[in-house]
Amino acid sequence: MSNEQEIAIVLGTRPEIIKLAPIIRECEAQSIPYTVIHTGQHYSDSLTSVFFEELSLPKPEYELAVGSGTHGQQTGQMIIDIEAVLLEEEPDVVLVQGDTNSVLAGAIACCKLSIELGHVEAGLRSRDRSMPEERNRVLADHASEYLFAPTAQSKRSLREEGIDDDRIHVTGNTVVDAVRQHKRVAMAETSVFDDYDLTRGEYCLLTAHRAETVDDEDRFASLLEGVGRVAERLDQDVLYPIHPRAANAVAEFGFEIPDRVRTVDPLDYIDFLALESGAALILTDSGGVQEEACILGIPCVTLRENTERPETLTVGANVLVGTDPQSICDGAREMLDRSPNWENPFGDGDAAARIIDVIRQPETPARVAG
């Protein structure tokens, strides 16, 4: 990549900001021109904007403030707004990360303008096409010139779908870069343990926010019952930083949260990373949290029937249990009986550098993730 060429980075949610932060830092370190386009898919200031300040990232050049709406309304408005920015900036490569509506909108805008697209975290597959995220990630992969697969398994998934080898680059996952860059700061600076009167290793951590989980009254009720049983059997509190979507569902369904499950407001990334690092067990329906738990060596119970992070299952860091209360209890017992000495399958923390290597010298194979 010559000095005149530029990267545009499209993001819109908290996980995207976290996982693209190492790439932004790599652009800064190598003096590569770049532009950040924040779609505003997560429209709560507590969920997104404060992350840039917290992670010491420059403020985005563009904040589209698209906000909420149906999938079609939100994605359509993003396509219109992203296209306008790309026409103004004329980047050579656009990077998107993951499986959100922001990713799909960025991919479509690039296709229509014939701008090269790079998909960070390409090749993840849950095989559940009822999930909007699964369709988003598949469409983004097939639209991309650069597919940055985090693992060899992700590369195999892409090859099975007929994508050419020369478009696929195994780089590791930027979540490893992010966790390593931020963990030391998190553990040194956080006051979250004192704030919530927690002792490291003597509490569990819960995240549950996905639409298919919390919008279904029976599934959400079953999940909460199971987590409550885990808390009672372990004689430990479960801290639940509750997403606005889940909080609205609790109110709408008239749920009573189990006694040992403590709901708190959403946390910033540094505090949440500290809580993950200190937990005895993590229960989650989040793909990113499955990865972080695996990297940090914390046992994970995934409250879903499938996962696009099967590597966590293969190495023994995670178990799938769905939302049946007894299955949740059994899964918790199984994971706590395991020794947390699994191998991290997501790379060595140099994914961002590899991604930039590929973009700068596309004709040269990138350093393969270790």
Which residues are the active-site residues? 209
Q: Residue 358 CB: number of other CB atoms within 10 A?
A: 21
Contact 215, 244 (CB under 8 A): no
Helical segments of the chain, H only: 14-29, 49-54, 71-89, 101-113, 132-143, 152-160, 174-189, 192-195, 211-214, 217-234, 244-253, 269-278, 287-296, 310-314, 325-337, 351-360
- The sign of the dihedral angle between the CA atoms of 254, 255, 257, 259 is positive
**Of 193, 175, 214, which is closest to residue 348 (Cα–Cα)?**
175
What is the rounded (10 degree) CA torsion for 115, 121, 124, 129?
A: -50
**Which residues are registered as beta bridge partners of 305?**
none
Please give the backbone phi and psi of residue 231, each rounded to the nearest 5 degrees, phi first: -60, -45
Residue 345 makes CB contacts below 8 A (sequence gap 6+) with 151, 294, 311, 312, 314, 315
SS3 334: helix
> What is the 8-class DSSP label of residue 239?
E
